[in-house]
Structures are given as structure tokens and as C-alpha cells.
């Protein structure tokens, strides 16, 4: 079982660094779902499961605490219903700031959420795969993929 509280390092910069990536607090699936439930955030799994090692599951095991807090901040700031469709499970692209490493969550692209992101965040260069990207003042990045918003939480978004 994952540790709910590992040592964390405070970051004030919005520019991610390899050092900051190594010094994050990881939380368990149950810790994350408790936070999401309390905030009114829902999630779904195409496989009806939460096994991190199965790509058809939606897992929050080893999610960064800041990512969970960032989702709660997004919910409060936007006032939108949030449905998470992807977490830390295998099957996503690799990299330092990846789903597997706890930095990313996928959200159902409702009209409310899309309008909030595109009206409140700055459009930046499109991603290499063509996904339109928006950057929040916090530094978090919102990429509009074909079926969802792929959000990279470098921090809690002002929690």
C-alpha cells in the first residue's frame, strides 16, 4: 500500500524542475477518492476497477497530493461538475510529468469545463500531437485531447 504522506518540498516557482519532481507527496487511491468525494468530484473507469497496472482501470494510487488538491481547486474555481476519466494507471504516455508519476489527471470535456479553461487560462503553443494547450497562472497546463482534458498539475493551483 502506498504511503499517504511522504516528505514534501515547498515550491514557489511555476517552472517544474527535476528536483521538484523527485520531492512530492504521494497519496493512496483511497486518500484521493476521499478528497474527490468530499469536493463533489466523480470518476469513472471503463473496466470498473482501480488497479494501477491495468490500462482499463482508473487508479489514483501514487497520485501527487498537489494533483488531487489541484482537481479540488479546479472544481471550486470553475463551479463545474468534474468527472475524472484517467489517473495514474498504466497506458498513458511516459515522461517525468506523466500520469504514472502522479502529475496528470484526465477530465471529461463538458461545456462548462471547456468554457472555464479557454476563458480563464492563456492559450500557449499547441502540443506536438496538435492538442491545444492552456496555461493557468499557477503554471498548470490543460491540453485538449480528442476525448478529454489532459491536465498536468505542477502544483495545487492556489489551494
| Per-residue model confidence as pLDDT tens digits over 99-136 | 999 999 999 999 999 999 999 999 999 999 999 999 99
Whether pTM exceeds 0.95 = no
**Percent of the residues in the chain that have a pLDDT greater than 70, as a whole number:** 86
- Which residue blocks in the chain are alpha helix, DSSP H? 18-22, 29-39, 65-78, 111-120
Residue pair 143/150 in contact (Cβ under 8 Å)? The answer is yes
Residue pair 61/2 in contact (Cβ under 8 Å)? The answer is yes
Sheet-wide strand order for 141-144 = 42-43, 83-86, 104-107, 149-152, 141-144, 132-135, 122-124
Give the separation between CA 103 and CA 13, rounded to whole angstroms: 16
Grid cell 476521499 is found at 34
Amino acid at each position: 500500500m502506498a504511503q499517504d504522506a511522504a516528505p514534501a518540498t515547498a515550491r514557489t516557482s511555476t517552472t517544474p524542475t527535476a528536483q521538484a519532481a523527485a520531492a512530492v507527496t504521494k497519496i493512496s487511491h483511497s486518500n484521493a477518492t476521499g478528497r474527490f468525494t468530499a469536493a463533489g468530484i466523480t470518476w469513472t473507469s471503463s473496466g470498473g476497477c482501480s488497479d494501477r497496472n491495468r490500462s482499463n482501470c482508473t487508479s489514483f494510487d501514487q497520485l501527487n497530493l498537489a494533483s488531487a488538491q489541484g482537481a479540488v481547486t479546479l472544481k471550486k474555481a470553475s463551479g463545474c461538475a468534474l468527472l475524472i476519466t484517467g489517473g495514474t494507471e498504466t497506458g498513458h504516455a511516459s515522461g517525468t510529468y506523466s500520469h504514472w508519476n502522479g502529475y496528470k489527471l484526465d477530465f471529461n470535456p463538458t461545456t462548462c469545463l471547456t468554457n472555464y479553461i479557454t476563458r480563464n487560462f492563456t492559450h500557449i503553443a499547441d502540443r506536438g500531437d496538435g492538442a491545444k494547450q492552456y496555461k493557468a497562472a499557477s503554471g498548470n497546463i490543460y491540453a485538449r485531447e480528442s476525448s478529454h482534458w489532459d491536465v498536468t498539475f505542477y502544483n495545487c493551483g492556489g489551494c
